[in-house]
Amino acid sequence: MSSTFELLLAHLQEDPLMILMVLTSVFAVAVALERLLMMLRGLWAIRSVETRVLTPLRAGRFDDARQGCRSVGAPIRDVFIAGLDRALGKVQGEPGMAMAREQRRAVAAYKAWLWILGTTGALMPFVGLLGTVVGVMGSFRAIGESGQGGFAVVSSGISQALIATAVGLFVALEAVILFNLLQNLAGSIARRLAYSTDEALELIRVRAATPGPAASVAPQGSPTHIPVEGQNAGSAAK
């Protein structure tokens, strides 16, 4: 194990492609950790919505629900602030449209930078293959310069080629696994957020339908379902 690590360090000093792949691996892990922390905060914020926002809404305490949004982490809180501000008459507009817009914006914020992991997973095998080609070319050049073949002449180039291939595949596998895990986590956040916004909007519709000054805050004829990202308007209406 130690000899393999020493061999890898030796190639790092002389192979720019190896340095590129290692730096890409470190950068991909850093991006994944940053996204993971943000998504974990998002899951905690959605849990806070249940007690800070939805519980007061179920009791008809809209002002308390609006105050409770302050303790919910961004960008989740922006979804409910947009709807409650319009339901309470602080901002002109339709609560459902505002919440749908902020919901799409929040989901996009959680999925930001994931394309880096997807691109890394797609490109790194080819970078490793390029290192393989360079190593084999080095072996043939060594044969040409020495005028003779044999394992001693080509071993260095072949070793470099195999290590470059292995590192490229490792970085690609690492990036693809992280990408899929974070994509699944972002999808879970989008679904949970959709459930919470649907219930909040339903309670806003009920309040708007009751007689009194609040009856004009949201038209009753507008749809009660906020489409989750990836649904079109037709499937959402169904």
Least-confidence region, from 41-45, 141-145, 188-192, 198-202: 141-145
Domain ranges of the chain: 16-218
CB neighbour list of residue 21: distance below 8 Å, 6 or more residues apart: 124, 127, 128, 131, 164, 167, 168, 171
102-160 pLDDT tens trace: 999 999 999 999 999 999 999 999 988 888 887 777 676 766 666 665 666 566 667 77
Classify residue 160 by burial, with Cβ atoms within 10 Å: 0-12, 13-18, 19+: buried
Least-confidence region, from 121-125, 130-134, 172-176, 226-230: 226-230
pLDDT band at 40 (very low <50, low <70, confident <90, very high): very high
- The pLDDT score that the predictor gives to residue 129 is 86
CA-to-CA distance for 41 and 53, rounded, in angstroms? 17
Arithmetic mean of pLDDT over the chain: 81
At 187, give phi and psi (nearest 5°). -65, -40
- The pLDDT score that the predictor gives to residue 135 is 74
Classify residue 91 by burial, with Cβ atoms within 10 Å: 0-12, 13-18, 19+: middle
CA-to-CA distance for 52 and 39, rounded, in angstroms? 19
> How far is residue 53 from each of residues 35, 79, 83, 204, 233, measured CA to CA in Å?
25, 11, 12, 12, 27
Q: How many CB atoms lie within 10 A of CB 48?
A: 17
Q: What is the mean pLDDT of residues 13-26?
A: 81
CA-to-CA distance for 80 and 56, rounded, in angstroms? 13
Which amino acid would we find at residue 78?
D
What stretches of the chain show up as alpha helix (H) in DSSP? 2-14, 16-49, 55-58, 62-68, 76-87, 95-111, 114-146, 151-209, 233-237
Q: Which two tokens stand for residue 226?
A: 């906020």
Classify residue 233 by burial, with Cβ atoms within 10 Å: 0-12, 13-18, 19+: exposed
Q: Are 111 and 75 in contact (CB under 8 A)?
A: no
- The pLDDT score that the predictor gives to residue 148 is 63
Q: Which two tokens stand for residue 190?
A: 């989008």
50-94 pLDDT tens trace: 999 999 999 999 999 999 999 999 899 999 999 999 999 998 999
